[in-house]
Structure 1
Amino acid sequence: MKLEPTIGFPPKGVAGLYWLGQAGFWIDTGVHRILIDPYLSDSLARKYAGTAYPHLRMMPPPVTVAELPRPDLVLVTHAHTDHMDPDTLMPLRDRFPDLTFVVPAAELETARERIGVSAELWPALAGDRFSPLDGLEIEVFPAAHEIRERDADGRDRYLGYGIKATGLKLYHSGDSVPFDLLDGLVQSFAPDVALLPVNGRDAKRRAANIPGNFTLEEAAHLARNCAFLVPHHFGMFAFNTAETADIDTLAARTSRPKVLRPEAGSFLRILP
């Protein structure tokens, strides 16, 4: 398998990944088109204007909600606004009323508020395996955004998703740090491509209630048996990012997995 950078939005039926910024991706399996965690607005800049962390975008959205073609499925990993954004998801629901959104079961009420009470919501639990479309399988993983947080019914608030279709296996961890159980689950799923956040974590951000994610080294270890690691969750907010130079340094010294730093507006075409 190869990932070949190509400029522009992917044409329908061409397998590959298009980075939307932060943890957002448009994924084309060659048959299905899947949208995951899109943040295409400035809702957080408005919410945090005038605060110590104003959430100003470092990069503009590479595509608007109005420009997006219809995805076949939308996956949402958790309820933080840069992943479950009402200013992105509700307009998307308005454009495509029959579109299905897979959301954490523990955040179903929040999803109704942010996507719409009439939205087609598929509540997911860690450990679920389901086939929402012919030829597409989804496996649901737990995630720990600093901690593995569950609701009163024991349902995980943070999830990751494994996508299996047409000979491709891809894993998007959502926001997470390493924790007991995760490594074994990922190695058992054996993805070809891992999409992992690499902005790390530290005491200063934790004290400001800004939970962190994998470091670059932790992401590379989790993806050690994958053909490709595509880092994300950088370049959006200046107070919570990773340096592109550090990602490129990791890429230069790591052959397995091959590390490919995505660029907004660039399509990573999947070739046999």
Structure 2
Amino acid sequence: MTVRVKPQPFSGSLAQRLAVKPTEGTVLYWLGQAGFILDMDGVRIVIDPYLSDSLAAKYAGTDFPHVRMMPPPIAVSDIRQVDYVLCTHAHTDHMDPGTLPGLLATNPCARLIAPRAVQAAARERSGVGDERISWVDAGERIDLSSGLSITATRSAHETIKCDEDGHHHYLGFAIQGQEATVWHSGDTVPFEGQVAEVLALAPDVALLPVNGRRAELSERGIAGNLTLQEAIELGEAAGASAVIAHHYGMFAFNTLPPERIDEVINKVQGRLLRAAVGTAYIISLSGPQTFSEARC
């Protein structure tokens, strides 16, 4: 048996769907950029939420103004019943001071899980103390409630970066439930040893960035990510049943047109999906499935 991801557009608001505690099963919702809400086995996990205009304010008047191309699909105060908030690294569109304090205040029992290498940034941007934060590094596992676990993986946001103690600045998270494992790679490019590391965790669904990278941006300090083709190849090599492409459509200077993603989706027979708002991604067991070859 493998795992299938079924996109299911929904009517009404995301806030209405999040007003009640999640039940059994696994459902994903996209928040834009690299942000997701994962309901798994009765536990609600929020990953890398960027729901403010923090970066537009920070970079106003510069060559890269970071103006949002899409509005937030939900108000921070409407994200409820949250058990855990995960941040893969300290870039503002993943660890947002305009989102985290309100989210953690609305959900006073929620814990923040963040890289050990960026403790100061996590404390400052979240507004909570260590009693509500779990620190993690690549290769470490955290056991959650209801039999869930999170294992941190290395990421290379163009490069692998460690602090003086060898703790990784950039992480991914493999979230393992009763029936499925969902891997959010964080911001990453391909690097040596990546496939073997992720393959050992047997991800069923891979949430992968597809905005790519450009030398002119890297030279200005804006690190890039996987290309769409690299994301397809990584998902296939890691044994994932499906790849959900994200990290597009937020900032005009650093995105991939959705039409380009959709062109490739038509070639891979259901194994590649494009993250979209207003859609619930239902993850369930299914029969065998093969990854059709596609080239971008």
Q: Could you state the TM-score of these two structures normalised by the residue count of structure 1?
A: 0.96
Q: State the Cα distance separating 1:91 from its structure 2 match.
A: 1.1
The correspondence of residues 108-123 of structure 1 with structure 2, limited to 5 A, is 108-118=119-129, 120-123=132-135
Q: State the Cα distance separating 1:72 from its structure 2 match.
A: 1.1
In the alignment, which residue of structure 1 is the partner of 2:240?
Answer: 226
Q: Is 1:196 aligned to 2:223, yes or no?
A: no
In the alignment, which residue of structure 1 is the partner of 2:253?
Answer: 239
Residue aligned with 1:102, SS: strand
Whole-angstrom CA distance in 2 between matches of 1:176 and 1:251: 21
Residue aligned with 2:283, SS: strand
Whole-angstrom CA distance in 2 between matches of 1:46 and 1:220: 34
Q: Which amino acid aligns with 1:74?
A: V
Residue aligned with 2:31, SS: strand
Q: Deviations over 1:207-266 (max 9, x none)?
A: 2211000001111111002111001100000001011122112211124x7011121222
| RMSD of equivalent CA atoms | 1.4
Asked if the contact 1:102/1:121 (under 8 Å) is kept, the reply is: yes
Whole-angstrom CA distance in 2 between matches of 1:189 and 1:24: 22
In the alignment, which residue of structure 2 is the partner of 1:266?
Answer: 279
Whole-angstrom CA distance in 1 between matches of 2:82 and 2:134: 15
The correspondence of residues 3-22 of structure 1 with structure 2, limited to 5 A, is 3-4=5-6, 5-7=8-10, 8-9=13-14, 10=17, 12-13=22-23, 15-22=26-33
In the alignment, which residue of structure 1 is the partner of 2:263?
Answer: 249
The correspondence of residues 155-194 of structure 1 with structure 2, limited to 5 A, is 155-194=167-206
Q: State the Cα distance separating 1:111 from its structure 2 match.
A: 0.5
Asked if the contact 2:243/2:271 (under 8 Å) is kept, the reply is: yes
Q: Deviations over 1:185-206 (max 9, x none)?
A: 1112121100000000011111
1:143 to 155, 169, 172: 155
Unaligned runs of 5+ in 2: 286-296
Whole-angstrom CA distance in 2 between matches of 1:132 and 1:205: 38
Whole-angstrom CA distance in 1 between matches of 2:199 and 2:104: 35
Q: Which amino acid aligns with 1:260?
A: L
Whole-angstrom CA distance in 2 between matches of 1:152 and 1:116: 25
Asked if the contact 1:40/1:64 (under 8 Å) is kept, the reply is: yes
Q: Which amino acid aligns with 1:3?
A: V
Q: State the Cα distance separating 1:31 from its structure 2 match.
A: 1.7
Which is further off, 182-191 or 59-68?
A: 182-191
In the alignment, which residue of structure 2 is the partner of 1:44?
Answer: 55
Q: State the Cα distance separating 1:117 from its structure 2 match.
A: 4.2
Whole-angstrom CA distance in 2 between matches of 1:250 and 1:189: 27
Q: Which amino acid aligns with 1:111?
A: A
Asked if the contact 2:50/2:94 (under 8 Å) is kept, the reply is: yes
Asked if the contact 2:155/2:189 (under 8 Å) is kept, the reply is: yes
Identity of aligned residues (%): 45
In the alignment, which residue of structure 2 is the partner of 1:211?
Answer: 223
Residue aligned with 2:99, SS: helix
Unaligned runs of 5+ in 1: none
Q: State the Cα distance separating 1:116 from its structure 2 match.
A: 1.6
Asked if the contact 2:80/2:106 (under 8 Å) is kept, the reply is: no
Q: Could you state the TM-score of these two structures normalised by the residue count of structure 2?
A: 0.88
Residue aligned with 1:170, SS: strand
Q: State the Cα distance separating 1:134 from its structure 2 match.
A: 2.8
Which is further off, 39-48 or 128-137?
A: 128-137
Whole-angstrom CA distance in 1 between matches of 2:284 and 2:172: 24
Asked if the contact 1:73/1:99 (under 8 Å) is kept, the reply is: yes
Q: Deviations over 1:46-70 (max 9, x none)?
A: 1111111110000000011111112
Q: Which amino acid aligns with 1:134?
A: S
* Number of equivalent positions: 271
Whole-angstrom CA distance in 1 between matches of 2:186 and 2:201: 16
Residue aligned with 1:253, SS: coil
Whole-angstrom CA distance in 2 between matches of 1:96 and 1:67: 10
Q: State the Cα distance separating 1:158 from its structure 2 match.
A: 0.3
Whole-angstrom CA distance in 2 between matches of 1:103 and 1:24: 15
